Structure 1
Amino acid sequence: AVPFVAQHKVLFAIIAIAILTAVNLRGLREAGTAFAIPTYAFMFGVLVMLVWGLTRIFVLGDDLQAESAGFELTAEQSNLTAIAFAFLLARAFSSGCAALTGVEAISNGVPAFRKPKSRNAATTLLMLGGIAITLLLGIIVLAEKIGVVIAEDPATQLQGAPEGYHQKTLIAQLAETVFDDFPLGFYLITIVTALILVLAANTAFNGFPVLASVLAQDRYLPRQLHTRGDRLAFSNGILFLSGVAIVFVWVFGAEVTHLIQLYIVGVFVSFTLSQTGMIRHWTRHLATETDPNQRRRMVRSRVVNTIGLVMTATVLVIVLITKFVAGAWIAIVTMIAIFGLMKAIRRHYDSVAAELEGTEWDGVLPSRTHSIVLVSKMHHPTMRALAYARATRPDTLEAVTVNVDDADTRQLVRQWESSDITVPLKVVESPYREITRPVLEYVKRVRRDSPRDVVTVFIPEYVVGHWWEQVLHNQSALRLKSRLLFQPGVMVTSVPWQLHSSADVRKERIDAAPGAVRRGLDDQEEQR
């Protein structure tokens, strides 16, 4: 309908992912009306298209021909027999099995159904299957009657196509042919088809963040994925999913034929594992169940899951054989890598927990405290750091500056001596005009001289309001803190000094906080 979209598929796919991410971050999860309207519009629109198209062909006798009806599809191999022909059928079968995916959303969402949950879920699944089969068969029959020809690579596989021919999708060709005298119908079908394809991606946003939260709770993924945002959505999981999705769309150029290989392998691996798990579930319960009625129900359920396991495992094997080179190997390698990564994350969390809780604290207090205030200039941040250091009442308090410029250091020493500050100022030489290493060496020397003392380093810092200001300040403080944190017996204290630019940002953040208006924080800030 809009060729510009086909020419910029990656851009539009990324925009769609960004929109879904924003909607899910806002907490609009499974909004019934928002998702139901496009879905029903698609089903109704396609059904009307099929009924009207078949009526025009069989009742009115119209000769409907698709734009690609006159093209001829060139076969890569026209003499396939025996094993090669069976391989071709198996590959087509594995590709068609992708149409089965999506039905698992019913079983995954059983807890969300009204009671009786299992019966309502089964009824919904039956309706879903009936609607899907009806639409699919109708589309196949109509496409065959109007002569639609679809090629994976139109430039090389279609004979008779004009120069620069842009192949429309199957639905678009059907709608354009059936509604040849009603262009609005063509655009409506195209729009609702695009909408449900975008909304279909929302299934991952509903499923993955919850799954990641469960795995994070069991310490198989980073703990950040377990926490909810201020709108009770798993914000970190949503952002991680959207980021990975955007990367895959960009790497594969938003080509469905390439991405589907990753999708179908993952889906049928999960199908096979879930059926295996259900068989183990029924077998475990049968070992302890004595009620004959319950045992018959469990045996029947186990038979159903066994049949499902055989069918899904068969499809998985065919997919792995026929799609391995086409991209299935990427999914397999990724699964193995993710499994290993998750086991490594669990081992890390277990080792940290054992280290933090396994040994008893000796309870020995430090004999003395030695406080060091880092000084670069005589200004307000330095004075605040000195005042705060005095308030902690250390046994030893001293100020330290690093001599990276002789003129500046001499001026600082003169200002310090002429002031009423009683804290001694020590100058640490820096032959190579760096700050971090001389400070570290001085702190280590203090620790060597008094091993039982605790050394506290006070670092004055600027608090700025804009990201570009952050680039201009606090880089030395950041390097110092990152290095001092690895020194045993050393405490690091940041003493912030808020610049004027940070006050405006702080006001905006207070006003924008959840419930700020209800609590009257904006009025309080204005009064202050």
Structure 2
Amino acid sequence: MLKRLVIGRAKRSEELGETLLPKRLALPIFASDPLSSVAYATQEILLVLTLGGLAYLHFTPWIAAAVVALMTVVVLSYRQVVNAYPSGGGSYEVASTNLGASAGLVVAASLLVDYVMTVAVSVASGVDNIISALPSLADYRVVMALGFVALLTAMNLRGVRESGRLFAAPTYLFIGGVLIMVGTGLFRYLLGDAPVAESAAYGIIPEEGDADLAGLALLMLVLRAFSSGCTALTGVEAISNGVPAFRKPKPRNAATTMAAMGIIAITMFAGVTTLAIISKVHIVEDACRLTGLDADCESYTQRTVIAQLAASVFGGNDSVGFYYIQAATALILILAANTAFNGFPLLSSILAQHRYLPRQLHNRGDRLAFSNGILALAIVAGLLLWGFEANVTSLIHLYILGVFTSFTLSQSGMVRHWNRELRTETDLTVRRRHQLSRVVNATGAVVTGLVLVIVLATKFTQGAWLAVLAAVLLWLMMRAIRRHYDRTAAELAVTDPHMERRLPSRVFAIVLVSTVHKPTMRALAYARAFRPDHLEALTVAVDREGLDRLRRQWDDFEIDVPLKVLQSPYREITKPVVEYVRSIRHAGPRDVVAVFIPEYVVGHWWENLLHNQSALWLKSRLLFTPGVMVTSVPWQLTSSARADRPAARAPGAVRRGEPITLHEHAAARHAPPGTTQE
């Protein structure tokens, strides 16, 4: 009931086509991350430049221009990816196809780490903006962040289309609000009434050693500010990963959506940065470096750049425009995590299909979403937010490294792709188009490669090494998973069909018993139905009285099956049974031993606690013994007949009348009455 309330009714596989997205919904779903980064990209540039006080803020427009140029190149480059590889693999598919499997895994590991960081940074930044409007909520930062992750998880489990409808309005409200704010601020500036930020009157004390930088030191500061501003590019590749989710014609619609995203993001970023320069926003990581404060710096909470701009443009912290911008910004930042909630499960599904991740990640849930990937992302991101106390400044250093790794390798792969196409293409018009595309991708590879070096050099010691370590470990794990799947496939492959179809010499059936009751009789009858070459009942004698009672019952009911007794002076059940079964296998290597275990089926989880758990251990041991087949013979108690609803059944319990598989054997929580005294 709770599951249906949260995610809705299950959908049939045939309904997958109904979940495809029009461009108006695809934009907020796949582009909310790069669009929302407008809210903090400018702020990250200013935070680095103000390390030297106010002296270096004149570099802001040049750094912003470099970020805009870089975003333009990346958007144009990924439009080529969308058209050349519309299957949805994006950077991973491009790198794998053109640079090899190892390069593809580097891209995949980098993107998976970055998707986790997208959720953490976006949600933490959204909570920051809520606190900017309502400072009294500062003590509940982590709780709010985790609550938003849970909400996003629930909405995405409902399906891509449903989450798109929910997230579309906040995205468009944010875009409209920022454009109105920028337009109003610039119009006032042209009229000679430039908006002034609340922090414009504050001075800034430089960090020790950063006051008079020159030469290489100054260059490193500027490059560090540029690398921080490159957070504006996070999520740009998500559309190329989500092409299969678009309506037909998929590549054209995806390319159009990407172009729209690029134009809107560049316009907003340039506008916010220009407005921040005009209004003289002064912001630092440590408020105690501000001079001219009227309050105690230890308790002073700085407002975000976007909050200061809204207050200066719309007339103060109590204006309708200020609260509108803050609400829209908080919403879009939190919903920006939705880009990762779509990209991470989709990429995980592709990797699982290629046997680099567990196959469960390729399965679709009730609402045709990749539910396991969504839950995995939510858990890891939640742990990250909890560990870093939802602090944007701490999390931001782990960010964007993976993005530029995937940018660089995918664009390099696209250059190889066009080289291969040009070797076989003879049409001059098509060749010119391919050559232009190659120039675009080559430019993207060089530029993003340089940015990757800059980001690595400026952020590595400040926390980026954690992201690098996580990506390396993930890369190693994926290779290990692939080796396991390859070994398993090779071992299971049929090499000699005639040999594999060969019948066993004998079938040796064993029914485990402890007393004579209805489950025992059913197990004996079921074993007879298999017509084995040899059938016997097996019991373990843990006490003399119980063994004598069993033998009397055996004689009283005239059961014509031999009763084998294993002595166990130390009251061990599993070991004697396993050793006996193995001895039969040693005596006849081509024999098959079928072990039948009577089991109670109960209807409530707590009833499992009233029965022993020896079946779990016994089955787990027997399943590792070659040539041994384990069959559970269920006997449904009255409580199981009343527990028809799935929610009322015990975990691992078997439904009435349902066949039992070996997987259910290993997971069963109840004990067989034939293995010990009840």
> Given the two structures, how large is their TM-score scaled by the length of structure 1?
0.87
Aligned with 1:40 (options 172, 182, 185): 172
Q: Aligned ranges for residues 48-87 of structure 1 at < 5 Å?
A: 48-53=180-185, 59=191, 61=193, 64-66=196-198, 69-70=201-202, 72-76=204-208, 77-87=210-220
Instruction: Report the counterpart of residue 489 of structure 1 in structure 2.
Output: 627
Q: 3-state SS of the aligned residue for 1:506?
A: coil
Q: 1:58 to 1:499 in 2, by over 3 A?
A: farther
How far does the alpha carbon of each residue in 1:231-285 deviate from its partner, in whole angstroms, 9 at most, with x for none?
A: 2222222222222222322233322233333330110001001101110000001
Q: Is the 1:462–1:474 contact (alpha carbons within 8 Å) kept by the matching residues of 2?
A: no
How far does the alpha carbon of each residue in 1:343-399 deviate from its partner, in whole angstroms, 9 at most, with x for none?
A: 222222222222222531523322322211112333333232222122222232222
For residue 31 of structure 1, report the CA deviation from its aligned partner.
Answer: 4.8
1:376 paired to 2:509: no
Q: 1:119 to 1:422 in 2, by over 3 A?
A: closer
Aligned with 1:194 (options 327, 330, 340): 330
Question: 1: CA distance between counterparts of 2:622 and 2:422?
Answer: 60
Question: 2: CA distance between counterparts of 1:68 and 1:9?
Answer: 27
Unaligned runs of 5+ in 1: 511-528
Q: Is the 1:74–1:158 contact (alpha carbons within 8 Å) kept by the matching residues of 2?
A: no
Question: 1: CA distance between counterparts of 2:252 and 2:595?
Answer: 66
1:133 paired to 2:291: no
Q: Aligned ranges for residues 133-212 of structure 1 at < 5 Å?
A: 133-154=266-287, 156-159=288-291, 160=293, 161-162=295-296, 163-177=298-312, 178-180=314-316, 182-212=318-348
For residue 307 of structure 1, report the CA deviation from its aligned partner.
Answer: 0.9
For residue 184 of structure 1, report the CA deviation from its aligned partner.
Answer: 4.1
Q: 3-state SS of the aligned residue for 1:456?
A: strand
Instruction: Report the counterpart of residue 15 of structure 1 in structure 2.
Output: 147
Question: 2: CA distance between counterparts of 1:285 and 1:429?
Answer: 75
1:387 paired to 2:525: yes
1:29 paired to 2:29: no
Between 60-69 and 22-31, the greater mean CA deviation after superposition: 60-69
Between 243-252 and 318-327, the greater mean CA deviation after superposition: 243-252
Instruction: Report the counterpart of residue 311 of structure 1 in structure 2.
Output: 447
| Structure index of larger Rg | 1
Q: 1:9 to 1:227 in 2, by over 3 A?
A: same
Of structures 1 and 2, the one with the larger relative CO (CA 8 A, separation 6+) is: 2
Residue type at the aligned position of 2:305 = L
For residue 403 of structure 1, report the CA deviation from its aligned partner.
Answer: 2.4
Q: 3-state SS of the aligned residue for 1:212?
A: helix
For residue 57 of structure 1, report the CA deviation from its aligned partner.
Answer: 6.7
Q: 3-state SS of the aligned residue for 2:398?
A: helix
Instruction: Report the counterpart of residue 406 of structure 2 in structure 1.
Output: 270
Aligned residues: CA RMSD: 3.0
> Given the two structures, how large is their TM-score scaled by the length of structure 2?
0.69
Q: 1:445 to 1:39 in 2, by over 3 A?
A: same
Question: 1: CA distance between counterparts of 2:507 and 2:376?
Answer: 44
Instruction: Report the counterpart of residue 98 of structure 1 in structure 2.
Output: 231
Q: 3-state SS of the aligned residue for 1:201?
A: helix
Instruction: Report the counterpart of residue 428 of structure 1 in structure 2.
Output: 566
Unaligned runs of 5+ in 2: 1-132, 649-678
Residue type at the aligned position of 2:529 = A
For residue 32 of structure 1, report the CA deviation from its aligned partner.
Answer: 4.4
Q: Aligned ranges for residues 190-339 of structure 1 at < 5 Å?
A: 190-339=326-475
How far does the alpha carbon of each residue in 1:174-210 deviate from its partner, in whole angstroms, 9 at most, with x for none?
A: 3345343744433332222121112211112222222
Q: Is the 2:200–2:279 contact (alpha carbons within 8 Å) kept by the matching residues of 1?
A: no
Q: 3-state SS of the aligned residue for 2:161?
A: coil
Question: 1: CA distance between counterparts of 2:238 and 2:170?
Answer: 18
Q: Is the 1:458–1:493 contact (alpha carbons within 8 Å) kept by the matching residues of 2?
A: yes
Identity %: 60
How far does the alpha carbon of each residue in 1:91-137 deviate from its partner, in whole angstroms, 9 at most, with x for none?
A: 11111111122333444455666777766656544543443333334
Question: 1: CA distance between counterparts of 2:525 and 2:642?
Answer: 26
Q: Is the 2:238–2:343 contact (alpha carbons within 8 Å) kept by the matching residues of 1?
A: no
Q: Is the 1:402–1:429 contact (alpha carbons within 8 Å) kept by the matching residues of 2?
A: yes
Between 122-131 and 300-309, the greater mean CA deviation after superposition: 122-131
Residue type at the aligned position of 1:165 = Y
